[in-house]
Amino acid sequence: MIDYDNISIDKRLGHELWYTENWTDNVRFTFRVKKTLFSARTKYQQMDIVDTFEFGKVLLLDGLVMVTEKDEWIYHEMICHPAVNYHPHPEKVLIIGGGDGGTVREFAKYDFIKKIDLVEIDAQVIEQCQKFFPQIASAYADPRVNIFTEDGITFIHHKHCEYDIVVIDSTDPFGPAEGLFTTQFYEHLNAILEDNGIFVAQAESMYFFPDVVTKMYQKIQAIFGNAFLYNSFIPTYPSGFWHFITAAKNGHPIADLAKNKKDPAGSI
Ligand code: SAM
């Protein structure tokens, strides 16, 4: 579990400004900050946006790096494009979390995607990311995008078999996101997927948090039966070695679904 109480932002070393995130009790990640652009306690979390020498602008929630201008593209491409390329004909997408808009932007690149529902609990995240990260929050005006500022945990209760792809692009498993990592939530997700539906979630890091990733995998595997992990290198996330979990409602995303794909590359 990440203890975000002892994260120091704006730690002054002489005249310099540094941000430090405790990746574990014994490992810290520190980078130099030009200036703080935004800082507020929202209804749900502490939200800071800082401009940095190395990573451009950085969004922090409860003191943890969420997106940086320099490496956000890696995460957002990896959470979107594999699922679009496994699914035979994806049209309806649900994204839970993702208030920075990067995952929305990636799905909006496909003209065969007809509907993108974004469920972000914290309206402030959407508002400030549109202001400070316009190149990430660039697809919010797309007519296919519907924004719901509510809790993803309850949002899915009144849906049934509605989506081809569901993405959990949430913060870490504590605070408002804790309920997005439970068996009950994954069971509800299964119910709102269409028959060929695919589920993808950001799944933390096996390097520092193997128990978190293993527990997530076991819960999802017990429900879907075909879960699998894939990973990528995201320099500003703990260890850089970051995981995603994906599963299909029926069959195996790659073995069964992808082979039915007419145009494997999709049309971007
Ligand atoms: N890429 C980041 C990562 O991997 O940690 C996630 C980015 S995105 C900013 C995470 C979003 O999840 C936050 O804006 C947060 O407000 C939202 N969130 C957390 N719990 C939620 C919930 N229960 N329902 C909807 N959104 C939630």
Mean pLDDT of 14-29: 88
**Mean model confidence pLDDT for the chain:** 91
Query: Residue with structure tokens 């679009």?
Result: 84
Q: What pLDDT, on a 0 to 100 scale, did the predictor assign at position 175?
A: 85
Q: Is the pLDDT of residue 8 over 80?
A: no
- 76 burial (CB, 10 Å; 0-12 / 13-18 / 19+) is buried
Find out whether the beta carbon of 122 lies less than 6 Å from any atom of ligand 1: yes
Residue 5 has pLDDT above 80, yes or no: no
- Locate 255 and state its tokens: 């073995």
Residue nearest (by alpha carbon) to ligand 1 atom 16: 122
Q: Give Dmax (Cα) for the chain.
A: 60
Instruction: Give the mean model confidence (pLDDT) for residues 154-183.
Output: 91
Write the pLDDT tens digit of every residue in 46-65: 999 999 999 999 999 999 99
Instruction: Provide the pLDDT for residue 262.
Output: 61
Count, residues in the chain? 268
Asked if 227 and 221 count as a contact pair (C-beta separation under 8 A), the reply is yes
CA nearest 257: which of 107, 80, 90, 110? 90
Catalytic member of 62, 164, 169, 172: 169
Which of 121, 132, 234 most suits a substitution to test ligand 1, by most atoms within 8 Å of the C-beta? Answer: 121
The residue whose CA is least distant from atom 20 of ligand 1 is 177
What is the CA(14)–ligand 1 centre distance, in A?
A: 34
- Secondary structure element (H or E) that encloses residue 12, with its range: strand 8-13
Active site residue 169: yes
Is residue 266 over pLDDT 90? Answer: no
169 lines ligand 1 (CB under 6 A): yes
**52 vs 231: CA distance, rounded Å:** 26
Determine the atom of ligand 1 nearest the C-alpha atom of 176. 20
pLDDT at 173: 83
pLDDT band, very low/low/confident/very high, at 259 (cuts 50, 70, 90): confident
DSSP 71: T
H-helix or E-strand spanning residue 52: strand 46-52
Residue type, 121: I
Residue 170 beta carbon below 6 angstroms from any ligand 1 atom: yes
Residue 86 pLDDT greater than 60, yes or no: yes
CA of 171 to the centre of ligand 1 (A): 4
Q: Is the pLDDT of residue 181 over 70?
A: yes
| Model confidence, pTM | 0.92
* pLDDT, tens digit, 9 for 90 and up, residues 240-250: 999 999 999 99
Question: In angstroms, what is the span from residue 109 Cα to ligand 1's centroid?
Answer: 22
Could you tell me what percent of the chain has a pLDDT over 90?
Answer: 81
Per-residue pLDDT tens digits for 121-132: 999 999 999 999
Residue bearing the bigger pLDDT, 236 or 18: 236
Q: For ligand 1, is residue 151 a contact (CB within 6 Å)?
A: yes
Contact 87, 198 (CB under 8 A): yes
Q: Tell me what the mean pLDDT of segment 236-263 comes to.
A: 85
Instruction: State the pLDDT at residue 251.
Output: 82
Instruction: Give pLDDT, residue 268.
Output: 46
User: In this model, does residue 206 exceed pLDDT 90?
Assistant: yes
Average pLDDT on 257-264 reads 66
- pLDDT at position 256: 77
Q: Which atom in ligand 1 lies closest to the alpha carbon of residue 125? A: 14
pLDDT at position 12 is 52
pLDDT higher than 80, residue 4: no
How far is the centre of ligand 1, averaged over its atoms, from the C-alpha of 99 (Å)?
7
